[in-house]
Amino acid sequence: MKLLTEVEPEVGVAVKKIDGGSEVKGYLEELGISEGTELTVVATEPVHVHAGPIALKAAGREAVIARGWADKVYVDKEGETLPLLRLETGEKGTVKTIEGGKVFEGNFSELDIEKEKEIEFLRHLPDETLVFKIDDREISMGEGQASKALVEREGKNIQINYLEEGEKAKISKIIGGTSLKEKFEQMGVVEGKEITLVRKEMPAPVPKRGTYVLARIGEQLVTIGHGLAEKVWVE
């Protein structure tokens, strides 16, 4: 066996073992990768100089998208189809493809991001740690993870990232797969609960450059960060 990071481009392999426990396995399952999955490595490419979540505008509404989700969106920009993450601040494109099937299309539609709709790339975000309070208990999560929980404000659903410090709201929906919802449930982040944004904390500086593995599973392309790919054994 060898690690996924060691596989050459255009080589087909089968996943034999995944290290790292249930959290790593759950994240990879959301990408369609589990033990027994057959995939073909397309390329090992440098990560965009800006890692972390991004902010977009769609249908006049601003939304935060975790990097793992942004990797699933391809847009048309001036007649060229390219990954969403190739756009820069202020550039616009029309959504052409959302990888990951109906489930991901449904998740994105909650944020008004749908095929044939125009979106504007607003900015890359530092992956701040957001500290929330639920049932008098403080919990922390990154901005990308927090973007998958919606709360109700003035009759509209917004991502909990957009709460003001000290603002309280009721969780209306979790957008994501079963493993994400289970992880949120363990933290007490469930629909109907009141949540308060306590504060935002800037992360310690980390190197912004790295690599990721681009792989094909059937007809679907998936992006696997280097850290995760190092936990996947294949042959």
**Contact (Cβ atoms closer than 8 angstroms) between residue 139 and residue 187:** yes
Model's pTM, two decimal places? 0.66
18-66 residue pLDDT tens: 998 888 888 888 888 999 999 999 887 765 545 678 999 999 999 999 8
68-81 residue pLDDT tens: 888 889 999 999 88
Residues 6+ apart with CB under 8 A from 37: 14, 15, 217
Per-residue pLDDT band at 207 (split at 50, 70, 90) = very low
* Relative orientation angle of helices 178-187 and 21-30, to the nearest 10 degrees: 140
Flag whether pLDDT at 189 surpasses 60. yes
From CA 37, how far away is CA 213, in angstroms rounded? 15
Map out the domains of the chain as residue ranges.
Answer: 2-47+210-234, 54-124, 129-201
170-182 residue pLDDT tens: 999 999 888 889 9
Burial class of 220 by CB neighbour count within 10 A (0 to 12, 13 to 18, 19+): middle
One CATH from 3.40.1280.10, 2.30.30.90, 2.160.20.60, 3.30.230.80 for 2-47+210-234:
2.30.30.90
**Contact (Cβ atoms closer than 8 angstroms) between residue 89 and residue 123:** yes
From CA 8, how far away is CA 31, in angstroms rounded? 20
10-28 residue pLDDT tens: 999 999 999 988 888 888 8
Using the 8-state DSSP alphabet, how is residue 140 labeled? E
State the CB neighbour count (10 A cutoff) for residue 94: 13
CA angle 192, 197, 201 (to 5 degrees): 140
Question: For residue 56, what are the CA distances in angstroms to 31, 33, 90, 204?
Answer: 22, 27, 10, 25
